[in-house]
Amino acid sequence: MILGPISGLDCIVFLLLLAPQLILHAGFLPTLICGLQGLPFLPSWFEDAAIQCMRYGFARIPPKIARIFFSKQVALPLLRFRMLRHGYIRSPIQWRQVKQDTFQGLWTAGDHAEDPDIVLYYVHGGGFAIGSSYFYLEALQIWFSLLKSAGFKNPAIFVLDYSLVPDESYPVQLHQALAGYYYVCSRVRNPSDICMAGDSAGATLVLSLLLHLGQNKSETMSNGSIPIKNNFKVPGMAILISPWVKLLSTRYRDTSRDYLNAASLQLYAHQYCNNKISLHDPRISPGHCKDASWWQNASPSKGLFLSYGSEEVLAPEIRDLVLFWKQSGIAVECCEEKDGIHAWPIARTFLNRTIKGRQEGIRNLVSAIRDHMCSK
C-alpha cells in the first residue's frame, strides 16, 4: 500500500488530531505559548515550510510537547484518514502489536503463517526523545511494498518501540533493542535473513546493538555489558540512515539547510546517558570505537549500507567513521546525497509532492537490500 502525497486536507486533519492530544498531555498554556512563539514564522512552499517547521521544532519545542506530534494517538488516526481518502477501508498490509515484558513493537507481514524470507528490523529515530512505531507506519508500508516488488516473496517488518528519554535512559533502550532482535531471530530460519535498519538515533541503537553482538569475540568490552544468548549471530545486513555516530562532537555545527540543532543534540545526548556512562564510550557512542577487530566481529555478514546528506549537521563524523571502516576492511557502501539533509529518505516520504518522489529514497535503500541480501 503506497498512498499519495500529503495534502492540505491531511495537514488540517493532522492539526485537528494533534490539538486535543497536546492539550491533554502537555497542557493548554504550554501549548499556547509554543504556538504563539512560532507565529512570525511563515514560509511559503510546502516542503521548505515543513523543513523550516522541523528546524524550529527541534530547536525550540520541548521534547514533552514534541513527542505528542509523533505519538500513536495522532499518527494512527491520521494514517486511517489518509487510507480512507485513497479508498482503503482496511490496509492490504496487516500489522499487529507485539508486546512482551522486555520489549514492544509492530510486526508487519504479508503471510503470517509462513516464514518470512527477509525481515527488516527497524529502529526509529528522534534523538531518543520522540518518535513511535506508529509514526513510521506509513513509511514502512512503502518499504514493504517495494520489498515485494524487489522479488522477496514474504517480507516482514518489525519496528521497535523503545522507551524514550527522559522516562528511561541507557542501557534500557539497548536492552529493548536486543530483546527485539532475539524475537526477530525466532521468526526466521537464519539471522542472515535479517536486515537491521534505523535512522538518526535509531541507527545509533543499531550500531550499539551490532557492537554488543560482536563483543563476545572481542577483548575491548569492559564490565557492565549485557549477557548475550548463546549462538546468536549478527544479522545479514544493516541500513544506516544518517546515524548519530558520536553523541557529542565539537564538529557539529548548525547548517543553513539542515533542520537539526547542535544544542538540542547535546541535550538529548546527556539525557540518554544520564551520567551512567561516558558519552565517549563506544557502547553508547559507536563512532568512538576504533578497534578494527571489534567492528569486524560486529559487522553484518553481507555488509553495511549507509545513507546521509552532505549538508546535515552529523555529516563530518559520519564521513570519518565510514573512512575508518573502509581502512579497516569493513564491507560498507555509502551514499552521500549532495545537498541532502538529515534522514531525508524517511522525511521525503512525508514531504515530497509526488508519489515517485516519496518513494525514491526508500527505493534506493531497497535496491541495496536486494543487491546485498540476494548475493551469494
Determine the Cα angle at 328 with ends 322 and 334, to 5°: 25
Query: Read out DSSP for 275-331?
Result: TSS-TT-TTTSGGG---HHHHHHHS-TT-EEEEEETTSTTHHHHHHHHHHHHHTT--
DSSP state of 216: G
Buried b (16+ CB within 10 A) or exposed e, 106-119: bbbbbeeeeebbbb
Burial classification of residue 265, based on how many CB atoms lie within 10 Å of its CB (0-12 exposed, 13-18 middle, 19 or more buried): buried
Burial classification of residue 283, based on how many CB atoms lie within 10 Å of its CB (0-12 exposed, 13-18 middle, 19 or more buried): buried
Cell numbers linked to 327: 581502512
Question: Looking at the DSSP assignment, which residues form a beta bridge with residue 333?
Answer: 305
Q: What is d(CA 367, CA 25) in angstroms, rounded to the nearest whole number?
A: 41
Give the catalytic positions in this structure. Answer: 200
Cell numbers linked to 38: 512560532
What are the backbone dihedrals phi and psi of residue 311, each rounded to the nearest 5 degrees, phi first? Answer: -100, 10
Q: What is d(CA 318, CA 340) in angstroms, rounded to the nearest whole number?
A: 14
Q: What is d(CA 195, CA 191) in angstroms, rounded to the nearest whole number?
A: 9
- Are residues 145 and 221 in contact, defined by beta-carbon separation less than 8 angstroms? no
